[in-house]
Structure 1
């Protein structure tokens, strides 16, 4: 579109997935104020209202301004499903960078190697075969480790594995990992490429499992208590439901609760810690065991605005597509200061984010 001089282009990010671009020749300051109002709109449900208001405003003014609105319908559909499947395309890259930069999987694996063998021995008592369900398994990095542990503990028992994962890209990564992992060719896999909520709705004859794990995915379900109730109902005798999540009082819990208004939107609503999981488990009257572990994440680069790694880490930690453009400059500055002073420790010029994980084993 060709316009005379004094072209003003304003890009508005709504729910970080829907983009509205308004291009107008500025006649007076009120045009800018109208667009700034749109800029503060951060929910999908308001997008149509923003567009309608913008159009009405310029029509009412009788202005010769030209308003171009680009509304990406596919983006809004993606935003509606993103709540439980947030890893596609660039998001997978950000997720993989986080895993490479952090010790999260290594820390979880250390715990699993120590704890799972005895759990698997209990689970396998009087069993002729074992069925495992992974919910939100991602690329399967931890799943293949757990299945290998299970094979070593129960070498004579047939094992089957079901996987519920909404990301097609991560499922493809999982399948590739299975293909190159020793002994897993003996395990038949059933792939459910869908969200947890869809699995709950679509499954007709509920299959029973001996071990169900939900690792860092419980944040994305609609109803926490109902989700735990459903998967608990899928357990066989002596079965275990293992939920791994950020620990109550940990730095993620502190950050997300301090900035719940800014962070809890279409992706995570609300943030849930191990304390919230335990509250639901107790409400259901279920028997459980709780464990915890911790590690630190070097986030020094997050304070360098020119560091791509730092910006991507911030995107993952705040569940945003673009941290630098998702908040006002003041909120970004406050959040970074909060990360440094309330959630981290500094040592030898480095800033280390304190990560605490909660492991909850719910008994059948």
Structure 2
């Protein structure tokens, strides 16, 4: 695959909407709190007795979570070399990631291998080469919605783990607001970049079917979406566009827009202090080697 080719749902205006969502939702902070609670013990187990560590990020976006993960690893194993492979389809977000690495003192000289392609293309490329690198820790944060074949994807990356390795999957929790929205309006929403919505429920169903061992940790989060109910609010409209992965008011019939907004208020959220707080709970799933 050509180095400058991209294959992602996050390009151009989508990147801007994604950044707006992150700012409004507090999602990154919720994930950081979860990782700080869970990963130190896991990392000590993963890296015990090893002279080097190999980490992979799949669908890493702008790299904020990766930088935190690598810094955490370094704090637990100071002086131990760490290599990092990144698989990310967005050239724009990869450039943001590289800029973040360049201004992070502890990572300026760390070796990175950049694979600017979709997960599917990386899998094809790795299988074609036949000499697949193994990893101590692989993370897939909020990206399993965009893979073509969930089972094949999880099977491949779990198979890349070294002894005592872990595959971390962070995904929307079953029965979260996202899960309810996309399952209820699946025929209307699963038509473009997301063809089959998955939450933690689908991930765990596959792992259970395969008999794979895993641990699940809650990653609670909620945020105010009151502006989504004001059609004159620019922020509200942009959030709705991100939630539905399309131009909300231009893409659906008035009946569908009304039904989605009603679902947001009655099923996906709770009312607190005159605010509509969207349930964006996530699950952190650690799959064993």
> TM-score band, normalised by the shorter chain?
over 0.9
The counterpart of 1:269, out of the listed 189, 195, 215, is 195
Q: Which residue of 1 aligns with 2:257?
A: 332
Q: For the residues of structure 2 that align with 1:281 and 1:137, how far apart are their CA atoms?
A: 22
Structure 1 residue 110 and structure 2 residue 5: aligned?
no
Q: For the residues of structure 1 that align with 2:245 and 2:217, how far apart are their CA atoms?
A: 26
Structure 1 residue 158 and structure 2 residue 85: aligned?
no
Aligned runs of 1:173-184 on 2, under 5 Å? 173-184=96-107
Q: Which residue of 1 aligns with 2:159?
A: 233
Contact 1:229 1:284 (8 Å CA) reproduced: no
Q: Which residue of 2 aligns with 1:34?
A: none
Q: For the residues of structure 1 that align with 2:192 and 2:46, how far apart are their CA atoms?
A: 37
The offset of 1:329, in angstroms, is 1.1
Contact 1:219 1:272 (8 Å CA) reproduced: yes
Q: Which residue of 2 aligns with 1:280?
A: 206
Aligned runs of 1:300-339 on 2, under 5 Å? 300-320=226-246, 322-339=247-264
The offset of 1:348, in angstroms, is 2.3
Q: Which residue of 2 aligns with 1:259?
A: 185
Q: Which residue of 2 aligns with 1:140?
A: 63
Larger relative contact order (CA 8 Å, sep ≥ 6): 2
Q: Which residue of 2 aligns with 1:167?
A: 90
Aligned runs of 1:185-204 on 2, under 5 Å? 185-203=108-126, 204=129
Q: Which residue of 2 aligns with 1:341?
A: 266
Q: Which residue of 2 aligns with 1:23?
A: none
> What do the CA deviations read for 1:23-45 (whole angstroms, capped 9, x no partner)?
xxxxxxxxxxxxxxxxxxxxxxx
The offset of 1:285, in angstroms, is 1.8
Unaligned regions of 5+ residues in structure 1, if any? 1-80
Q: For the residues of structure 2 that align with 1:183 and 1:293, how far apart are their CA atoms?
A: 27
Structure 1 residue 356 and structure 2 residue 270: aligned?
no
Q: 1:186 is paired with a residue of what secondary structure?
A: coil
Q: For the residues of structure 1 that align with 2:244 and 2:50, how far apart are their CA atoms?
A: 43
Structure 1 residue 210 and structure 2 residue 136: aligned?
yes
TM-score, normalising length from structure 1?
A: 0.76
Q: 2:108 is paired with a residue of what secondary structure?
A: helix
Q: 2:218 is paired with a residue of what secondary structure?
A: strand
The offset of 1:150, in angstroms, is 0.5
Q: Which residue of 2 aligns with 1:28?
A: none
Contact 1:140 1:174 (8 Å CA) reproduced: yes
The offset of 1:317, in angstroms, is 1.2
In our comparison, the structure showing a higher alpha carbon Rg is: 1
Q: 2:114 is paired with a residue of what secondary structure?
A: strand
Count of matched residue pairs: 282
Q: For the residues of structure 1 that align with 2:26 and 2:162, how far apart are their CA atoms?
A: 33
The offset of 1:191, in angstroms, is 0.3
> What do the CA deviations read for 1:180-199 (whole angstroms, capped 9, x no partner)?
11201231011000000000
Q: For the residues of structure 1 that align with 2:9 and 2:136, how far apart are their CA atoms?
A: 28
Measured on the aligned residues, the alpha-carbon RMSD in Å equals: 1.2
